[in-house]
Amino acid sequence: MKLTVWTYEGPPHVGAMRVATGMKGLHYVLHAPQGDTYADLLFTMIERRDHRPPVTYTTFQARDLGSDTAGLFKKAAQDAYDRFKPQAMIVGASCTAELIQDDPGGLAETMGIPVPVIPLELPSYQRKENFGTDETFFQIVRALARPMEKTAQVTANLIGPTGLGFRHRDDVVEVTALLNDMGIKVNVVGPMGATPEDLTKLGQAHFNVLMYPEHAEAAARWMERDLKLPFTRTVPIGVGATRDFLAEVSKITGLPVRADESRLRLPWWSRSVDSTYLTGKRVFLFGDGTHVAAAARIARDEMGFEVVGMGCYNREMARPLRALARDYGLEALISDDYLEVEAAIEAAAPEMILGTQMERHIGKRLGIPCAVISAPVHVQDFPARYSPQMGWEGANVIFDTWVHPLVMGLEEHLLHMFRDDFEFHDAAGPSHHGGHSPKPMERAEAEPEAPADPAPTQATPAQPSSVEVVWLPTAESELKKIPFFVRGKARRNTERYAAERGVTEISVDTLYEAKAHYAR
Amino acid sequence: MTHHTPTPPVRGCGNTPILKQRGQREVFCGLTGIIWLHRKMQDAFFLVVGSRTCAHLLQSAAGVMIFAEPRFGTAILEETDLAGMADAQDELDDVVARLLARRPDIRQLFLVGSCPSEVIKLDLSRAAERMTQAHAPHVRVLNYSGSGIETTFTEGEDACLASMVPVLPETDARELLVVGALPDVVEDQMLGLLAAMGVTPVRVLPARRSEDIPSVGPNTVFALTQPFLGETTQVLERRGARHIPAPFPFGEEGTTAWLAAIAAEFGVDAETFARATDAPRARARKAIATVAEGLRGKTIFFFPDSQLEIPLARFLTRECGMEALEVGAPYIHKQIVGPDLDLMAEGPVLSEGQDVDLQLDRARASRPDLTVCGLGLANPLEAEGLATKWAIELVFTPVHFYEQAADLAGLFSRPLRRHGILKDLNGGVAGGAMGRATGRMAPAGEEGSA
């Protein structure tokens, strides 16, 4: 048993719903108790879908348990077929139905439904949402795709985009444009936008673009083996990655790299003198493996940041992320416990966090600027405007998204410098970090232990030093002059410096000696 | 009772046959009640014993609140817990011991059963007894089920309150107990009105803190502020308390009738009653009249959600001039909503339970001006050109009693006003994705007619 308040991922059947909702002409019959329909609102509200997800729930209740839940399932499946007339169906169980062992796949098989009915085995007590998308798409592809004659022109499938995916909608447009510049047409995009009939034609493409390994790697590997479709390993997020991706495509197809970079502005924006202050900004990265890996490269090589921590919540991506982190001289944090993430962020004391919705709130609490780079995300990260992460326009979007909170950080620094002026007093609090938590760093400094939390799954990190050091009042007030978003780091460094030298009283001199010592 | 109140209909809905259908139900489970209950009970923690789905549901329903150190969480069952029962109890003891050590401010702990814990028959009541002994006297541990297989949305509150009743202290005093979690501001208004009528002492269930928990006994009379408290009513009656039937305190009329029923029970004279209620009644009537202007003559269709549907339909038809086409509720406790049914004029279809696809067919066919439904249906129906009011807001927002009466009407008039304000931007050049979808979903000729 594991005590949980926040979950980065839903259960695996939500992953299956993301595949079904992304597709057209497919219907999902989910054996589930009353109440599991809550997941519909993720699609209708967060993603603002204008139709109900194509999911029929059996919604069994307690009074059904003793009798005939299997019959209930068969009726729901038959009604769903009759009403929606899908080209194919997927059937499976949610966590509760998994316990009552009705076997939706076996039941559906006996019903004589005249379209393919694909059973899903999604172990709810071991795996999570991303496994659900990957496994579901794989099962559908395996059931429907067959070897075919290749198209005359070079074509590619785009695989991996789903319902409720972070910027999937616009990434598809951007990657389509990238391929188009090289003279490559898109054969099938799936699951998003595809019908089951479309998926039967996957085999006529020349290769697959694996857009999101989390959601389609199993399908990509199966197609590589059984349909002889090679797939791309580079995810084109960031300028360097996009160029590598195009080189990879060129190698697979034999076509020369052709790219229209006229819209690409990140390199010049990042080189312009206004960006000099970004140099060496300490950033902490957390999210799904794919987006974190891409963000690490952009952060270091294209923005000039220093990556001081990285990790992901989906253990399926643990191995590649661990390897990548080693290249950055870091140890990857693989955890789905946000308290561990919070502790790691506090320990790393970054100047900026690139993470999920959850890290945005951790950032708010710690007074650290944050930008969102990965799911899970909330409604504001399903924007109306065009905002891909991939390709050239994606790089432009990323530059703006990451820099904006920092610019605001500088604004706040200026406000703090003038805080003795009558309109800028300390109690006014930061402008965009929420008026409910003024002076977050002061509070964090006063109580270095994380505030009491309902999920005691993780001991608070050990304090850096056990030696008692005392701050002299003059040093303390000098410390307050340091911008709030680096103050925690300054305090820690100074205390460590003092402790290492057996100094028990910190004066202004100690503060600046430490600063000089740790200067980069 | 006064000339301001419309007369009751010649024939109310009391004997209207109820349409009962079984099929897919698009509703929340009782776990959702935790979201507002934990705000009300300030020293309670709600520990769901369930699956990742349960945690995900709470997260989705709690929205941004999840980050504000909420006093609820989920002990997620893992594969090893499913292997053997003894294990699960030990594991639960560990989780609770760590939780309580970390949160010394917690005085009441609710072990909340879920579908998975019910299906594997994890005995949470025994666990609660054992833990009460282990953590006495500082913490009392109770249990109830908020599972979807047993409870629908607000029934989670019913199950929670019912679990508290057997352990309430015994009393012989003649006291009024008001049952149902209300926002603090509303509860204070209610207590003020009752005090002005001279009805004292008044106890509330749930109390804000565990030291204020009410007593109960054969001389207790109780009134309900929420219609979904069937089980709580039964267990209170089992302890000798007596229910005061009344319409629910929505709108000016409902509030007045609710207070009048209590006044009658406590022998409050007409003059005192008028002195306590005349001014707020006049305020409420005036405010409703302004806000409800846009609702007059409009038709409304309720999908089942919270059991608030019948009293709200009564308010909207009688005080705002709406016409109800169908009033769906997850359950209809006739003894409890009887007074509201009697006041509502015959006409609307009353439905209990749901087969959502069939109900959607009925809604599409009747083309209501306003549809009250859950968030899973709201945007899809809007895309078909139907104006909707999402139901869950009615549970979170202060809507009871006089001062909130116009706010309540406002919740329903706002979507209609918005439909009037927004220019129809669909159907421009070739139409966007939404335009195409609307065209596909809407019945022929209806597109853009709203």
> Measured at the alpha carbon of residue B60, what is the angle toward residues B54 and B61, in degrees to the nearest 5?
90
Grade residue B423 by pLDDT with cuts at 50, 70 and 90: confident
* pLDDT for position B148: 96
Beta strands in B234-380 (DSSP E): 242-243, 299-302, 323-329, 349-354, 370-373
pTM over 0.90: no
Chain A contact present for B92, CB below 8 A: yes
**Above 60 in pLDDT, residue B450?**
no
Q: How far is B65 from chain A (nearest CA, A)?
A: 11
Angle separating helix axes A213-226 and A129-144, nearest 10 degrees: 30
**Above 70 in pLDDT, residue A463?**
no
The nearest alpha carbon in chain A to B70 belongs to A454
Conformational region of residue B302, where left means phi above 0, alpha means psi within -120 to 50, and beta covers everything else: beta
Q: Which of A46-60, A72-86, A451-465, B38-52 bottoms out in mean pLDDT, i.e. has the lowest?
A: A451-465
| CA atoms of A30 and A64, how far apart (whole Å) | 16
**Above 80 in pLDDT, residue A428?**
no
A145-253 and A459-519: identical CATH topology: no
- Fill in the amino acid letter for B303: F
Q: Ranked by mean pLDDT, which of A326-335, A404-413, A501-510 comes out on top?
A: A326-335
For B119, the token pair is 């299906």
* pLDDT for position A204: 97
User: What are the pLDDT digits (tens) for A208-220?
Assistant: 999 999 999 999 9
List of chain A residues whose C-beta atoms are within 8 Å of the C-beta of residue B75: 1-4
Grade residue B436 by pLDDT with cuts at 50, 70 and 90: very low
Which positions of B make up the binding site for [4Fe-4S] cluster? Answer: 29, 54, 115
Q: Ranked by mean pLDDT, which of A377-381, B36-40, B439-443 comes out on top?
A: B36-40
**Above 70 in pLDDT, residue B5?**
no
Mean pLDDT of chain A: 89
- Fill in the amino acid letter for A182: M
Q: How far is B53 from chain A (nearest CA, A)?
A: 5
**Interval A239-249 mean pLDDT:** 98
Whether residues B434 and A35 touch (CB distance < 8 A) is answered with: no
- Give the residue among B241, B227, B240, B232 at the shortest CA–CA distance from B302: B227
**Interval A108-135 mean pLDDT:** 96
Which strands sit side by side in the sheet containing A282-287, from one edge to the other? A333-334, A306-312, A282-287, A352-355, A370-372
Tally the residues of chain B.
450
Residue in B45, B92, B149 nearest the CB of A34: B149
**Interval B39-58 mean pLDDT:** 95
**Interval B74-96 mean pLDDT:** 87
Strand partners, B396: none
Answer whether B28's CB lies under 8 Å from B377's CB.
Answer: no
Grade residue B428 by pLDDT with cuts at 50, 70 and 90: low
* pLDDT for position B381: 97
Grade residue A416 by pLDDT with cuts at 50, 70 and 90: low
* pLDDT for position A449: 40
Q: How far is A27 from chain B (nearest CA, A)?
A: 14
Whether residues B56 and A11 touch (CB distance < 8 A) is answered with: yes
Chain A contact present for B70, CB below 8 A: yes
**Interval B177-203 mean pLDDT:** 96
List of chain B residues whose C-beta atoms are within 8 Å of the C-beta of residue A39: 56, 60
**Above 90 in pLDDT, residue A489?**
no
Strand partners, B203: B177
Which of A8, A9, A29, A37 to mutate: most B Cβ within 10 Å? A37
**Above 80 in pLDDT, residue B445?**
no
Residue in B57, B76, B438 nearest the CB of A2: B76
| CA atoms of B197 and B194, how far apart (whole Å) | 5
The class of domain A145-253 in CATH terms is alpha beta
Q: Domains in chain B, start-ordered, CATH in brackets? A: 2-25+282-437 (3.40.50.1980), 30-151 (3.40.50.1980), 175-279 (3.40.50.1980)
Chain A contact present for B51, CB below 8 A: yes
Torsion of CA A511, A517, A518, A519, to 10 degrees: 100
Chain A contact present for B94, CB below 8 A: yes
List of chain A residues whose C-beta atoms are within 8 Å of the C-beta of residue B147: 33, 35, 62
* pLDDT for position A391: 98
User: What are the pLDDT digits (tens) for B224-250?
Assistant: 999 999 999 999 999 999 999 999 999
* pLDDT for position A520: 57
> Residue A494 half-sphere exposure, CB side, CA atoms within 13 Å?
26
The nearest alpha carbon in chain B to A123 belongs to B79
Residues 178-197 of B with CB under 8 A from A: none
**Above 70 in pLDDT, residue A433?**
no
User: What are the pLDDT digits (tens) for B274-292?
Assistant: 999 999 999 999 999 999 9
Grade residue A418 by pLDDT with cuts at 50, 70 and 90: low
* pLDDT for position A487: 80
Grade residue A284 by pLDDT with cuts at 50, 70 and 90: very high
Whether residues B24 and A59 touch (CB distance < 8 A) is answered with: yes
List of chain A residues whose C-beta atoms are within 8 Å of the C-beta of residue B378: 44
For chain A, the structural domain boundaries read 12-127, 145-253, 266-415, 459-519
Residue in B95, B376, B379 nearest the CB of A50: B379
**Above 70 in pLDDT, residue A445?**
no
- Give the residue among B246, B285, B292, B248 at the shortest CA–CA distance from B265: B246
* pLDDT for position B278: 96
**Interval B40-58 mean pLDDT:** 95
The nearest alpha carbon in chain B to A29 belongs to B24
Q: How far is A423 from chain B (nearest CA, A)?
A: 29
List of chain B residues whose C-beta atoms are within 8 Å of the C-beta of residue A163: none
The secondary structure of B106-152, three-state, reads: CCEEEEEECHHHHHCCCCHHHHHHHHHHHHCCCCEEEEEECCCCCCE
List of chain B residues whose C-beta atoms are within 8 Å of the C-beta of residue A38: 28-29, 32, 57, 60-61, 376
Query: Is omega for the bond preceding B201 within 30 degrees of 0, making it cis?
Result: yes
Name the strand (E) or helix (H) holding B263.
Answer: helix B251-265
**Above 50 in pLDDT, residue B444?**
no
Q: Alpha carbon of A510 to those of A487, A488, A506, B383, B431: distances in Å?
A: 15, 16, 6, 65, 67
The secondary structure of A120-174, three-state, reads: CCCCCCCCCHHHHHHHHHHHHHHHHCCCCCCCCCCEEEEECCCCCCCCHHHHHHH
Q: Which of A110-119, A242-251, B416-425 bottoms out in mean pLDDT, i.e. has the lowest?
A: B416-425
Grade residue B426 by pLDDT with cuts at 50, 70 and 90: low
Is A36 annotated in some ligand binding site?
yes
* pLDDT for position A66: 75
Whether residues B66 and A5 touch (CB distance < 8 A) is answered with: yes
| CA atoms of B92 and B75, how far apart (whole Å) | 8
Whether residues A59 and B45 touch (CB distance < 8 A) is answered with: no
Q: How far is A436 from chain B (nearest CA, A)?
A: 11
**Above 90 in pLDDT, residue A458?**
no
**Interval A310-339 mean pLDDT:** 96
List of chain A residues whose C-beta atoms are within 8 Å of the C-beta of residue B431: none
List of chain B residues whose C-beta atoms are within 8 Å of the C-beta of residue A81: none
State the fold for domain A459-519.
Helicase, Ruva Protein; domain 3 (1.10.8)
Whether residues B103 and A452 touch (CB distance < 8 A) is answered with: yes
* pLDDT for position A65: 86
State the fold for domain A266-415.
Rossmann fold (3.40.50)
Among all residues of A, which ones are annotated catalytic?
A: 274
Whole-number percent of chain B with pLDDT over 70: 91
**Interval B349-369 mean pLDDT:** 97
Whether residues B375 and A41 touch (CB distance < 8 A) is answered with: yes
**Interval A234-242 mean pLDDT:** 98
Whether residues A5 and B120 touch (CB distance < 8 A) is answered with: no
- Give the residue among B318, B325, B319 at the shortest CA–CA distance from B300: B325
| CA atoms of B415 and B127, how far apart (whole Å) | 47
| CA atoms of A245 and A94, how far apart (whole Å) | 38
Residues 331-390 of B with CB under 8 A from A: 357, 374-380, 382-383
User: What are the pLDDT digits (tens) for B243-267?
Assistant: 999 999 999 999 999 999 999 999 9
Indicate the CATH number of A12-127 among 3.40.50.1980, 3.40.718.10, 3.90.650.10, 3.40.50.300: 3.40.50.1980
Q: What is the DSSP string of A271-291?
A: HSGGGGGGTT-EEEEEESHHH
Q: How far is A131 from chain B (nearest CA, A)?
A: 14
The residue with greater pLDDT, B68 or B114, is: B114
- Give the residue among B377, B312, B324, B371 at the shortest CA–CA distance from B350: B324
